[in-house]
Amino acid sequence: FPSHDNDAWTSYTPTITGASLGNGTLDAKYKQIGKTVFVRFKFTLGSTSSINGCTITKPITSVTPPSASAIAPCALRDTGVAAYIGIVAEADTTTFYIANLKVDTTYPTYPAITSTTPFTWGSGDEISFTCIYEAA
């Protein structure tokens, strides 16, 4: 079997809806091996960045995902204070969305993040994840 460990990651610039990069930083990369797509994503807020929901375009169109398809955990970091577990889910064949894992009910839910949940976002805070999905 050929090894793909040394294949280069490709940078991409996703369209992010519900968030503004401002003077923050974005590091988004992917690698495709056959029909498997690997994605690494890190959004670090700057002083002029904002969050009020967050959908992110995929680098490669996927197969149609199952309804409410959570595909990976996501780190939501309130830098210097706490880290929270979020969820990366597939909204459709071209878009991910980020949700907050909420466990204060009988059954955990994952509502969309907002400007104040799971915390009030500010400079230095981060959203990061690594996920895998199937290309169309």
Read off the pLDDT of residues 89-127 as tens digits, 9 standing for 90 and up.
999 999 999 999 888 878 888 888 999 999 999 999 999
Output the pLDDT for position 4. Answer: 59
CA-closest candidate to residue 97, choices 123, 60, 72, 132: 72
Cα angle 18-68-60, degrees, rounded to a multiple of 5: 65
Q: Which of 45-49, 100-104, 128-132 has the lowest mean pLDDT?
A: 100-104
Tell me if 18 sits within 8 A of 56, measured CB to CB: no
Which residues have C-beta within 8 Å of that of residue 36, sequence separation ≥ 6? 132, 133, 134, 135
- At 7, the pLDDT band (50, 70, 90 cuts) reads confident
Query: Average pLDDT, whole number, for the chain?
Result: 92
**Rounded Cα distance, 75 and 115, in Å:** 16
Say whether pLDDT at 132 is over 90: yes
Burial class (CB in 10 A: 0-12, 13-18, 19+), 34: exposed
Q: Is the bond leading into 65 cis (omega within 30 degrees of zero)?
A: no
- At 1, the pLDDT band (50, 70, 90 cuts) reads very low
Output the pLDDT for position 116. Answer: 94
Say whether pLDDT at 85 is over 70: yes
Cα angle 34-56-60, degrees, rounded to a multiple of 5: 20
